[in-house]
Each structure stands twice: as C-alpha cells, then as structure tokens.
C-alpha cells in the first residue's frame, strides 16, 4: 500500500529530473546574450516555487495520511493496567487474556535496549504502538473492539534474535 505510493512518487521524481536534464540539453545554445533569457526566467521563478511547494505539500499529505500512528494518550484513563517488559528477545506481559471494549493501559518498559511495542490485528495492521526504553515507562492506552487474537511484535531492531520477539494477546468478549 504505502510502498506502492512511495515507489510511484520516486518514479515520478526520477522522471521529472530526467526530463529537466533532457530539456536543458536540448535547449542549450552557444554562449551569447543571456539578458533576455535571464529576465524571462526571473519572472517565472516565483510561480515555479509555488508549484514545487504545492507538489511537496501534496506529496507529504497524500503519503503520510495512512501511517499507522495513533495517539498513545487517547482513550479513557483508568480501566485495566497491563505491565509489559521488553527484553532481548521476548515480551514479559503481566496479563495476556484481556476483555474487549475495556480501556487498557499498557505500561511498557525495557530492561536492556530499546524495543518497539506494537499491537497487530489478524490482518497485520498496526493498531497501536509505543517505545519500550530502559529506565522509562511509557503508557499506551488502547481498547480492543473485537474479540480475537492480537500479535505483539517488536518494531525496533534489538539484536540477532529480533525476529523471534513476538507474543500473543487473547481478547475475549467478556
């Protein structure tokens, strides 16, 4: 999804740059009187700037809207507290069976290196994420709408067995 957008934007950008090179090559002339050309291009520069700023703004808003970042402090306070400790290469979670439609406060920390605590649904969409850092506890507020299995993965490379750092939460309809 987002890879397709980034690839398309990259191809368009490379095409535009190649087009500029071709344009300059084809329009090159032997040195001569450049006052007329200079005057014409100085008049065009403000509009060219607006076009580039507009394209950059469009590219930024079109591609960043679908990122999986959520507000880690949204959701109701209170509810159920779950302690999460990250260590190379496992998650220690105080409770892996959780009720649906209940505000849950994940208190996430680490004992060794930085880890990225991410909750994935069964379609591998990131529902919520926060950092697990040594000496600091981050709180992630989240409420599961649907019962089922949710996968916890580490998003931060934490060593040779990083790929094995996974856990499962079971959300029940209670």
Supply φ then ψ for residue 132, to 5 degrees. Answer: -110, 115
What pLDDT was estimated at residue 91? Answer: 94
Give dist(CA 133, CA 108) in Å, integer: 8
Give dist(CA 77, CA 72) in Å, integer: 12
Q: Give ranges for CATH 2.60.40.420 in the chain.
A: 73-172
Q: With CA atoms as reference, report the closest residue to 69 among 121, 13, 127, 11.
A: 127
Segments in the chain below pLDDT 50: 72, 74-76
Structure tokens at 154: 């580490």
Question: What residues does 63 pair with on adjacent strands?
Answer: none
The torsion angle over the Cα atoms of residues 51, 52, 56 and 59, rounded to 10 degrees, is 60
What pLDDT was estimated at residue 66? Answer: 63
Report H helices in 28-148.
35-64
DSSP element (H, E) containing 47: helix 35-64
What pLDDT was estimated at residue 28? Answer: 80
What pLDDT was estimated at residue 55? Answer: 94
What pLDDT was estimated at residue 68? Answer: 55
CATH number for the region 73-172 comes to: 2.60.40.420
Structure tokens at 168: 């499962």
What pLDDT was estimated at residue 119? Answer: 95
State the CB neighbour count (10 A cutoff) for residue 84.
23
What pLDDT was estimated at residue 42? Answer: 82
What pLDDT was estimated at residue 118? Answer: 95
Predicted confidence (pLDDT) per residue in 106-131, tens digit:
999 999 999 999 999 999 999 999 99
């Amino acid at each position: 999804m987002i890879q397709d957008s980034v690839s398309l934007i990259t191809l368009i950008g490379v095409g535009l740059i190649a087009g500029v090179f071709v344009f300059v090559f084809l329009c090159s002339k032997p040195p001569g009187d450049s006052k007329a050309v200079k005057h014409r291009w100085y008049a065009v520069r403000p509009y060219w700037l607006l076009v580039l700023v507009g394209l950059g703004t469009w590219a930024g808003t079109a591609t960043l809207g679908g990122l999986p970042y959520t507000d880690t402090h949204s959701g109701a306070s209170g509810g159920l507290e779950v302690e999460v400790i990250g260590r190379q290469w496992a998650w220690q979670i105080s409770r892996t069976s959780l009720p649906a439609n209940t505000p849950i406060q994940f208190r996430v920390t680490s004992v060794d290196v930085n880890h990225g605590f991410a909750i994935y649904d069964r379609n591998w969409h990131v529902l919520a994420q926060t950092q697990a850092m040594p000496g600091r506890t981050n709180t992630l507020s989240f409420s599961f709408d649907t019962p089922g299995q949710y996968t916890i993965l580490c998003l931060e490379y934490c060593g040779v067995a990083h790929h094995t750092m996974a856990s499962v939460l079971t959300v029940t309809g209670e």
